Each structure stands twice: as C-alpha cells, then as structure tokens.
Amino acid sequence: MSLIDRKSKLTQEIIAYVLLIVGSALFAIGDVMFVNPYLMAPGGTYGLSNVFNTLWPWKISLYAICMDVPLLIIGTWILGPKFGFKTILSTALIFLFTLVLESWWGYNPVIHDGAIVATGDASMVEIPHHGGFFTPDYFLNTVVSGLIYGVAIGLIFRSGATSGGSDIISMILHKYTKISLGTLVMIVDGIITLVTLVAFGDIRLPIYSVIVIFIEGKVIDLVVDGMKSYRTMFIITDKPEAIRDFIINDIKRGGTCITGTGLYRGTEHKMIYVTLDRTGMVKLRLALHDIDPKAFVNIMESSEILGEGFRMLPQE
C-alpha cells in the first residue's frame, strides 16, 4: 500500500471515529432532553430504560448498560463476533454521554409551551417524575426527537458501527425463526413502544413514539445515503448503439449491455442496464422517445449504489 493510500485510509478512519463520537453524543441528547421528558419509548434498550427510569427512578444509562452488556455477550456467543470494535465503542460512548447529561441536565424538557413553573393552574400538566408543571408541546417535541435520533443513528451507521441493543434480540430470533430481520426489528421495537401504554395508560405515548421511529428512519436514510437519488433503468431495444452513444457522450455514464430472448416470440434483443441520478434518468427517458420509441423501459428506484463512479464499497 502506497503512502497516499495509507494517508487516505487513516483520514477515513479519523472521520469515522469523529462521526461515531458526534452520533453517540446526539443520541444521548435526544434521549435525555427530548424523548424521556415526554415519557416516550421509541424502541431499543434506551426506550425501555426510559420507561424503567420513570417507574423506578434510576439513571437511564445504568438501566441501558445493564441490558446492553449482556446482549452483546449473548449475541457474540450465539451469533459469533459480528459486532466489531466500533459497535462496542458506540455502546460505551452512548452510556457515558447519557450518564453525564442526565447527571448535569436532569430530565427536564427542552421543548415546552411557556416557562416551566410550579403552579396549580388547570392549563398546566403535572409530570411528577420531572418535578414540576409545564404545558407540553407533544407534536413539536416528537418531530425534533425523530430528527435528532435519525441524525445520531445515521452518523453511527456512517462510521461503520451498528446500533446493537435490542437489534441483537432481533438477530437472535432471526437465526431460529427465519422471520425477516426487518420484521423482527419492528416487532421488538413495537413491543417496547407499547410498554408505555401499559405503564402510563396514555394512548398518545405509543403513537408519538411510532412517529419518532418513522421520522428517525427517514432521516437515517438521508444521512447514510445522502440527498442524491438514483434510478436503475432496464431498456430493451433494437437500437442499442444509439442509446449507448447517448449514455456515454451526453450523460457521461457507463452501463452494461445484455443479450436476451423474448418469451413471447423468442426474438433476440439487447437490454441495457444503467444506473443514473434523477437528472440523467430524465434526460435518457426523454431521448428514448426520439431514439427508439418502441423500446421497453423499466425504471426502479435504487436504495444504495456501491462501486466505481458511486460510493465506495464498505471496508467492514
């Protein structure tokens, strides 16, 4: 490996660890200052810790680490060493940031309608756990919580770490049940979210928690994949050379030409496979009307494109 390559790799690693630290700090901020004061539990061990913290006051971080460490050990024993150093580091950093923040800030809400005051006014809402009265702004807090969680977990994913925690339970269940991992994650987080309804008897809380999860997921995709949207086009045509020239010379992209046989008539055709950003896709779609109006085109949204000309393949 050349000196330039070593420096590039070192720079990427430094950036990855910076993202990991920032993401872990943001996660702690989102949980302690936004999610916990509104008694929400949007999945994960920290969501469950928020419920425990309200019912039986003890620090969120201590509840969470008591669950995370055994889960990492059990997960490594059953699934093998899949989690890596960065996931363990992320677990430790989130614990430390949460511990410091809840010790310094407490569990007071940041978002509220008006000042936090100790008054018996009927318009005020009492949450005894937080020691005071305030008029909550549930919807605004829910949106901000989802944004902070999404950016935090997105940065952690970008660093090469995983969220660990309750996801390990889903991975273990996936090994033995063969239910899809995505479905199991939703089931596990859904059960944790419903705990708020059982614990506090307020139907709003699991609903707001689900909204947090939804916003969080969208923001994670945005942070991990970026704003750029790609489309994959499959073009079956009798004029592959003209389309090839347009892709290479006008859009400045590459592609793959595949020979296929139609099922109905058994006629041999050329199929062009190409992945483009939104602008390039629109240009090619318009050009196809003039180049080959009889072409058959299938356009699909691509969630992730890796390789030369796009994002680098992950190292881990």
Q: Does 304 have pLDDT greater than 80? A: no
CB burial of 248-261 (b: ≥16 within 10 Å; e: otherwise) equals eeebeeebeeeeee
Q: Are 297 and 233 in contact (CB under 8 A)?
A: yes
Distance from C-alpha of 216 to C-alpha of 224, rounded to nearest angstrom: 12
Q: Are 24 and 61 in contact (CB under 8 A)?
A: no
Terminus-to-terminus CA distance in the chain, angstroms? 18
120 pLDDT band (50/70/90 cuts)? Answer: very low
CATH of domain 230-302: 3.30.70.120
Give the β-pairing of 230-237 and 268-277. antiparallel
Distance from C-alpha of 202 to C-alpha of 197, rounded to nearest angstrom: 5
How confident is the model over 260-294, as pLDDT tens digits?
A: 887 877 888 889 999 888 788 888 888 888 898 88
Distance from C-alpha of 52 to C-alpha of 61, rounded to nearest angstrom: 11
pTM for this model (two decimals): 0.73
pLDDT of residue 30: 93
pLDDT of residue 267: 81
pLDDT of residue 228: 65
Min mean pLDDT across 71-75, 125-129, 279-283, 297-301 is at 125-129
How confident is the model over 171-190, as pLDDT tens digits?
A: 778 778 877 655 677 788 88
User: Which part of the chain is CATH 3.30.70.120?
Assistant: 230-302
312 pLDDT band (50/70/90 cuts)? Answer: low
pLDDT of residue 82: 63
CB atoms under 10 Å from CB of 292, counted, come to 18
CB atoms under 10 Å from CB of 110, counted, come to 12
The residues with which 231 forms a beta bridge, in sequence order, are 276, 301
How confident is the model over 232-245, as pLDDT tens digits?
A: 899 998 888 999 99
